[in-house]
Structure 1
Amino acid sequence: MKQVVQNYKSGELAVLDVPVPGCKPGGVLVRTAYSLISTGTEMMKVSEAGMSMLGKARSRPDQVAKVVQSVATNGLAATYRKVNNQLDSYTPLGYSLCGVVEQVGAGVDDVAVGDLVACAGNEHALHAELNWVPKNLYARLPDGLAPRHAAFGTVGSIAMQGVRQGESALGEVALVIGLGLIGQLVVQLLTASGVRVIGADPDPVRCELAASLGAAACGDPGSAVVESAVADLTGGHGVDQVYLAAGGGSNQPVELAARLSRDRGRVIDIGKCRLDLPWNAYYEKELDVRFSRSYGPGRYDPAYELEGRDYPIGYVRWTERRNLACFLDLMARGSVDVEPLISHIADFEDAVKTYQRLGDGELKAVAVLFEYPEQAAEGRAAAPSVAVPAVPSSRRSAAPTRSAAAPVRLAFVGAGNYATSMLLPHLAERAGVTLSTVVTTTALSAANAQRKFGFGGATTDLDSVLGDPAIDAVFVVTRHSSHADLTRKALLAGKTVFVEKPLALGEDELAGVLAAVEESGNDRLQVGFNRRFAPILREAKQQFGTRSGPASLRYLVNAGRLGHGSWYLQQGTEGTRFAGEGGHFIDTASWLLGADPVSVYAAATSGNEDLQIVLRYPDGSTATLSYVTTGAPGFPKETLDLVADGKVLRLDDFVRASVYARKRWVSSRLPKARDKGQSAELAAFIKAVRTGGPMPVPLESLVATTAATLAVQASLAGGAPVTLAGPR
């Protein structure tokens, strides 16, 4: 299928061929009929991409702060790779469309194949021929509503949420500053609510349009027309509400709002304009400043948007989805008319040219629609497609036979940030390795990985990869909740598997992986516990030498707080943060101590923010792991001390290591960046695949580390140590 994308680093716009997204449970696959260009939000994003790096930095100081923090935590080279990877990737455009349901995922019962739906979301309602949309981000069209009008559903919801924040009442007077697409819709919604509206915009054409759609008066913000209309309609008291629907760097809208508001009036920010509030003006009138968060309650909540968990209507009357359905109903009943806002309808194939015309001012528009080749203006349903799973025809033995001279052919399931910044760069240029296929559920991430790393193919069909006998090994680099199931499927298909941690999020999942090993006879499995392969740590262990007595190990992990919206916070589906990451540190401790733990005890501060974990080993050794999120961001992430036999090994965040013994040994500071072992780990894995030799880490150790990681939660729940049965 085709999708509109942009490279944020170069500013390049393109219509790209990408794989069709899979139809996951909890959502529907929609074939787009019309998608809307938001001439404000989208064109601002397109404009930013065309800036120099300095210009980008000035426009996004929040991102610059994150980069500075990352440099302090992860080092300059690792941060550079991460930032460059994110910038030099294709990103999608679009967030408002109408289309036809082509497939229905499991758990969806409110729409059927062939239904017309309006869809929302800058990750799901993209300028693409097909989109997978979760259930809380679509709404079925009322009878009689034209699909091209329904494509306005998302921006209509944004305007509606702003009006709701204003708490308008019959007979009030409102001022709308900025008469672009959102402003025009706000004018109509307020008018439909019985509010008299005054519009302000420097563009006389937009002023005329707003007047034709119900505004009582419109004019340039600096003209006497607006102030005179406010005085006439309010008896000189000032407007009850001001809606800031303007963009740009001028502070004029905020100052105008203060001047024309009544005492204790309300100012609602919907757009993205400068907000240097003049303190005296706002204080003297005691103005109520409010913000409107996008489409409504549910926005930026993964549990609502991705998992389909609705808010009870008795507590949250108007959610994202209810706003979307309400706006569609208003259009269907004629209370809101979007037809006059449509300045241009372009063929989807001409998307790049259309953006260019908008950018250089040749095309002046309030709203522009893309019309798709198989548009459904008359409600035609696209023919549904059904994927037939491929059943593996054979089982491989634990050590598959292959020519050592032949290149190792790899498939990646998942191509997120970790895969593209920490794994694929080490594999793309490695001799004797062929990146065969990348599998993702979102089409664009597969296309980005294929373009940047040279994969031979990209798809959303996992079964076709598992059934391909030419694939030697499969990398599972997806979200945590899918690791065990994908690993099980790949093992049953006879593939050698590299799965990023964690291997499993529960005992049942771990048992399922082991059952697949038993059923298939295939134990060719590696989990991405890379720290034991770090060169600096391996050298330090060698310098420490053998030990005769039990050891004490202390491992401090200054994990830091997660950013708002991180999928790591989705504990209901993705497990706890420690379940996802803790295996790294347990594996490192066990490797240094040369054994697997026999018991786990865990305690936590209030809210489980900071964990203290004690691991006991067969020879009496102990490892104390402190996994904390409340530490200083500038402090190193990982520090480790191993004490035994009158010797001390110290690791300082993979930058420096030292051993205190009869002779002191200190590593040289790494000249480039922290090396946490990914390259050496991958080299060992590829060697095992090529030669059929033993896997880099024994399966028993992988299972023991996973079981110990899971035991942390059990210990927290029971308040007592958990004894481990040992490797199975």
Structure 2
Amino acid sequence: MKQIIQSFKTGETILEELPAPKVSRGKVLIKTTKSLVSLGTERMLVEFGKSNLISKARQQPDKVKMVLDKIKTDGLIPTLETVFNKLGEPLPLGYCNVGEVIAIGEGVSEFKVGDRVASNGGHAEFVSVPKNLVASIPDNVTDEEAAFTVIGSIGLQGIRLCEPTIGETIVVTGLGLIGLITAQLLKANGCNVIGIDFDQSKLDLAKQWGIETINPSQGQDPVKSVLQMTNGIGADGVIITASTKSNDVISQAAQMSRQRGRIILVGVIGLDISRAEFYQKELTFQVSCSYGPGRYDEDYESRGQDYPLPFVRWTEKRNFETILNSISKSYIDVKPMVTEVVELEDYLKIYGDIGSSKAIASILNYSNSNYSNNVVIESNQPHKKNPGIAIVGAGNFTKMTMLPAMKGLTANLKYIISSGGLSGTTLAKKFGIENSTTDYEAALHDDTVGSVMITTRHNLHAPMVIKALEANKNVFVEKPLALNGDELDKIIDAYKNSNASITVGFNRRFAPHAVKMKELLGSGDNPINVIATMNAGFIPSDVWVHDLKVGGGRIIGEACHFIDLISYLADSKVISVCMNAMGVNPEENTDNATLLLKYENGSTGVINYFSNGSKAYSKERVEAYSQERTLTLDNWRKLKGFGFKGFSSAKSKMDKGHKAQFEKFVASVNSDGALLIEMDSLVNTTRASFAAIESLKKGTWIDVQ
């Protein structure tokens, strides 16, 4: 399928050939017929992409600070690699999609195949969209009209926050797409509406709907004009739908408002607010969040959990439905706003000079769509005879860590599988992978594929590992192996019935400094004490890693790295675990905890996993004590020895063992498929992480099976 994307690296807008998405649980698969170009939002993205590196930095000072902090801890070169990798990520454009439902995911009962629907899908021939971001189109509303659904909902949410009543005067500043629809909705609500814009053609259009207008470019003073139109009272409310860096708009909004007026920001403007202007009138100022309640809530948008109507009357989906109903009943008229209708293949007629475009609404038409889950990538890479490898997941770990570490190895990268297709295709082109697909089953059914490397979200690890083992494919899975005991037991059964191997991404044990520590400490005949501290950094509570059903929490999902490392250094298995966490009533998904580990050979381990430390301090530190000797490893860059004959210190660039791990994995699957880490050890580490959570719940030591 074809999709419009924006390159932040080059600023180019591209019509890319991508594998079409597959429908999944809670989603509907839509064949697009029309999509609306949001000229304001998309113009900003295109212009940002075309700007140079210094200009990009000036526009994102918060990101610059993050980069400087990362340089202090990780070094200059790794930080620059991360920055340029991030800039190399293309962005899919568009969020106003109309089409026909062609497939229904599990758990979706609101729609059926053949329904015409509007959604926040992008400019792509096929989109897979969660059910709460999809609305059915009334029969008397055309696809072209329905394309205004999402953009209209943005304006509608601003109106709902403003809470206008019949007879009030509301000013709409900025009569672009959102502003014109907002003005019409306010008029339908019985309000006196005043529109402000510098473009006379937009003002003329607004006049057709009975909206009073002000054009500052023709010498009209916005504040004086509004006061004159309201007999000196001022506006009851001001809804700002403009896009400008200037602070004048917010100042004028305050000056033209009546005492205790309301100001709602829908657009993007300068926000250097004068306290005096707001203080004297006791003005209310609020920023509107996109389409309405539910926006950016994973439970609502991704998991399909609706808010109960008696308590949340207007969600984003119900706002979609309201706009469609308003069009159906002729409360608003969107047809006059259509400036141009362009075939998808002619997209550059819109995007080629989007910065100077005077269009109000541009519609993309989709007439020749071909559905395919797979895209073959043209590559100059020499053909490799080794068994093929399929990579599942195209997120940050795959892009920034795994594929760069595998570059130059004798790995025959046959597939990369991603849910949306865009990230996978981008990486396929960059790293010479033969196929980009959204179909995991296709790779499993390909006899030339011998191994699967899984880097998806944690809840998908176990089911994907089991499917790969059942297909007799060797497996590399980024930690954790499983999220609970039931999943682990099923993996063990699948492994016993398979001829394939399993490798879990416990890379720390393969790091050069860890290997040196093991060499210096010797075999497991002598017990050791190890203290490992992870200054993990704060992650907001709404991020998926904290969700016990998706990420498993940070102890199971991340601290397992150091359980494995200590087991490697001690050359023994964990027999019992005790975990304590910060706080009076710590929860099972804590990320501020201390784990105590007992080993079969008498060794002990302490893991301090903290998220409340300074970013300026080392992220990881390991100390090992044995026979009046001590080793300290700082952030995988500096190893110091005390009491060792012939060794005092070693330095290197940061190396957490990824490259060595992948070298060993590729060599293994290309030859005898030998295990990199014994299965008993993988199982022991995984069960120890489960025991840590159980220990926190019960407040006692837990034996590891």
Give the TM-score normalised by structure 1.
0.92
Whether the aligned pair in 2 keeps the contact of 1:435 and 1:456 (CA below 8 Å) is yes
Deviation at 1:572, TM superposition (A): 3.5
Whether the aligned pair in 1 keeps the contact of 2:373 and 2:438 (CA below 8 Å) is no
Q: Distance in 2 between matches of 1:457 and 1:578?
A: 35
Whether the aligned pair in 2 keeps the contact of 1:548 and 1:645 (CA below 8 Å) is no
> Structure 2 residue aligned with 1:459, among 423, 429, 437?
437
Deviation at 1:113, TM superposition (A): 0.4
Equivalent position of 1:379 in the other structure: none
Identical-residue share of aligned pairs (%):
37
Work out whether 1:581 is the aligned partner of 2:563. Answer: no
Equivalent position of 1:487 in the other structure: 465
Q: Distance in 1 between matches of 2:562 and 2:348?
A: 48
> Structure 2 residue aligned with 1:684, among 664, 667, 675?
664
Q: Distance in 2 between matches of 1:55 and 1:118?
A: 36
Deviation at 1:636, TM superposition (A): 1.1
Partner SS state of residue 531, structure 1:
helix
Whether the aligned pair in 2 keeps the contact of 1:173 and 1:233 (CA below 8 Å) is no
Work out whether 1:655 is the aligned partner of 2:637. Answer: yes
Partner SS state of residue 79, structure 1:
helix
Deviation at 1:544, TM superposition (A): 3.5
What amino acid is aligned across from residue 433 of structure 1 in structure 2? A
Deviation at 1:711, TM superposition (A): 1.6
Most deviating of 194-203 and 366-375: 366-375
Whether the aligned pair in 2 keeps the contact of 1:177 and 1:245 (CA below 8 Å) is yes
Equivalent position of 1:129 in the other structure: 125
Partner SS state of residue 692, structure 1:
coil
Work out whether 1:237 is the aligned partner of 2:216. Answer: no
Whether the aligned pair in 2 keeps the contact of 1:2 and 1:128 (CA below 8 Å) is yes
Q: Residues 337-370 of structure 1, C-alpha deviation per residue, up to 9 Å, x if partnerless?
A: 11111111110111134201323x2x42111110
Partner SS state of residue 400, structure 2:
helix
Q: Distance in 1 between matches of 2:62 and 2:361?
A: 29
Q: Distance in 1 between matches of 2:641 and 2:159?
A: 65
Equivalent position of 1:298 in the other structure: 294
Q: Residues 580-639 of structure 1, C-alpha deviation per residue, up to 9 Å, x if partnerless?
A: 112111111111111110111112123434111111101222111111111112111111
Equivalent position of 2:425 in the other structure: 447
Partner SS state of residue 5, structure 1:
strand
Can you give the 5+ residue segments of structure 2 that lack an aligned partner in the other structure?
Answer: 375-383
Equivalent position of 2:450 in the other structure: 472
Counterpart mapping for 1:165-564 below 5 A: 165-220=161-216, 223-224=219-220, 226-359=222-355, 361=356, 363-374=357-368, 406-430=385-409, 432-520=410-498, 522-546=499-523, 549-563=526-540
Q: Residues 567-586 of structure 1, C-alpha deviation per residue, up to 9 Å, x if partnerless?
A: 32333433212221121111
Most deviating of 212-221 and 236-245: 212-221
Deviation at 1:564, TM superposition (A): 7.2
Whether the aligned pair in 2 keeps the contact of 1:8 and 1:87 (CA below 8 Å) is yes
Whether the aligned pair in 1 keeps the contact of 2:5 and 2:13 (CA below 8 Å) is yes
Whether the aligned pair in 2 keeps the contact of 1:302 and 1:570 (CA below 8 Å) is no
Partner SS state of residue 273, structure 2:
coil
Deviation at 1:99, TM superposition (A): 0.8
What amino acid is aligned across from residue 559 of structure 2 in structure 1? G
Q: Residues 278-312 of structure 1, C-alpha deviation per residue, up to 9 Å, x if partnerless?
A: 12212222211111011111111112111111122
What amino acid is aligned across from residue 658 of structure 2 in structure 1? Q
Cα distance, 1:609–1:423 mapped onto 2, change above 3 Å:
closer
What amino acid is aligned across from residue 674 of structure 2 in structure 1? P
Whether the aligned pair in 1 keeps the contact of 2:457 and 2:550 (CA below 8 Å) is no
> Structure 2 residue aligned with 1:705, among 668, 685, 699?
685
Most deviating of 407-416 and 702-711: 407-416
Q: Residues 193-235 of structure 1, C-alpha deviation per residue, up to 9 Å, x if partnerless?
A: 1111111111111111222233123322784364454234422
Whether the aligned pair in 2 keeps the contact of 1:142 and 1:332 (CA below 8 Å) is yes
Deviation at 1:4, TM superposition (A): 0.6
Q: Distance in 2 between matches of 1:710 and 1:222?
A: 70
Deviation at 1:269, TM superposition (A): 0.8
Cα distance, 1:161–1:571 mapped onto 2, change above 3 Å:
farther
Backbone CA RMSD of aligned residues? 2.0
Work out whether 1:592 is the aligned partner of 2:569. Answer: yes
Equivalent position of 2:378 in the other structure: none
Whether the aligned pair in 2 keeps the contact of 1:472 and 1:689 (CA below 8 Å) is yes
Deviation at 1:505, TM superposition (A): 0.6
What amino acid is aligned across from residue 332 of structure 2 in structure 1? V
What amino acid is aligned across from residue 538 of structure 1 in structure 2? V
Whether the aligned pair in 2 keeps the contact of 1:92 and 1:126 (CA below 8 Å) is yes
Equivalent position of 1:566 in the other structure: 543
Deviation at 1:73, TM superposition (A): 3.6
Equivalent position of 1:395 in the other structure: none
Q: Distance in 1 between matches of 2:118 and 2:570?
A: 58
Equivalent position of 1:378 in the other structure: none
What amino acid is aligned across from residue 299 of structure 1 in structure 2? R
Give the TM-score normalised by structure 2.
0.95
Deviation at 1:12, TM superposition (A): 1.7
Partner SS state of residue 10, structure 1:
coil
Whether the aligned pair in 2 keeps the contact of 1:203 and 1:220 (CA below 8 Å) is no
Equivalent position of 2:377 in the other structure: none
What amino acid is aligned across from residue 489 of structure 2 in structure 1? A
Whether the aligned pair in 2 keeps the contact of 1:343 and 1:366 (CA below 8 Å) is yes
Deviation at 1:563, TM superposition (A): 4.7
Deviation at 1:19, TM superposition (A): 0.5
Q: Distance in 2 between matches of 1:456 and 1:385?
A: 16
Cα distance, 1:563–1:68 mapped onto 2, change above 3 Å:
farther
Q: Distance in 2 between matches of 1:722 and 1:546?
A: 26
What amino acid is aligned across from residue 586 of structure 1 in structure 2? I
Q: Residues 453-498 of structure 1, C-alpha deviation per residue, up to 9 Å, x if partnerless?
A: 1111111121121111111211111111100111111111111111
Counterpart mapping for 1:47-58 below 5 A: 47-58=47-58
Deviation at 1:136, TM superposition (A): 1.0
Deviation at 1:386, TM superposition (A): 12
